[in-house]
Amino acid sequence: MPDAHVCSHQDAEQRCYLRKAIRLLEGKYTLSILRALLGGTQRFGSLLALLPGISRRTLAERLRQMTDAGLIARHAYGEVPPRVEYVLTPEGQAFRDTVRRLELLGQALDQSSPQHPHASAQPDEGAQD
């Protein structure tokens, strides 16, 4: 198993696996689209309905980026009117546990934030960034 370390600048573009995984999920709505597709095949219009606030343009851009990254597959059917469906690839499915854990973390943070003893604490005087 490789050493657990923070990626150096030289590693960043070539061998930093964490950065590669994060790069796949970058962009507003990317995780939300991934989560929606974890429920199964979706059409463009149904994704728009599932993702309040997303514009048609942003959704189209994110779907294209995710397709190019190999996370989702786009299936266009030669029908009139045109029908296009999006589905997660095995690579996209690999993020299922990650998305679920992020949801659980968000839920835990939401439940604990009002009572969290450090929520309003000032940063340590001696702390360094």
Domain 41-105 has CATH 1.10.10.10: yes
pLDDT of residue 44: 95
Per-residue pLDDT of the chain (129 residues; tens, 9 = 90+): 444 556 666 655 567 888 888 888 888 899 999 999 999 999 999 999 999 999 999 999 999 999 999 999 999 998 888 899 999 999 999 999 999 999 999 999 988 876 545 444 444 444 443
Cβ proximity of 119 and 110 under 8 Å: no
Question: How far is the C-alpha of 92 from the C-alpha of 84, rounded, in Å?
Answer: 18
**Strand order in 72-77's β-sheet?**
42-43, 83-88, 72-77
Q: Where are the chain's structural domains?
A: 41-105
Nearest by Cα to 25 from 75, 69, 86, 89:
69
Full-prediction pTM beyond 0.85? Answer: no
Q: How far is CA 60 from CA 22, 24, 68, 104, in A?
A: 20, 16, 12, 28
Question: How far is the C-alpha of 101 from the C-alpha of 55, rounded, in Å?
Answer: 27
pLDDT of residue 124: 43
Question: How far is the C-alpha of 62 from the C-alpha of 75, rounded, in Å?
Answer: 16
Structure tokens belonging to residue 84:
């296009």
Question: How far is the C-alpha of 11 from the C-alpha of 18, rounded, in Å?
Answer: 11
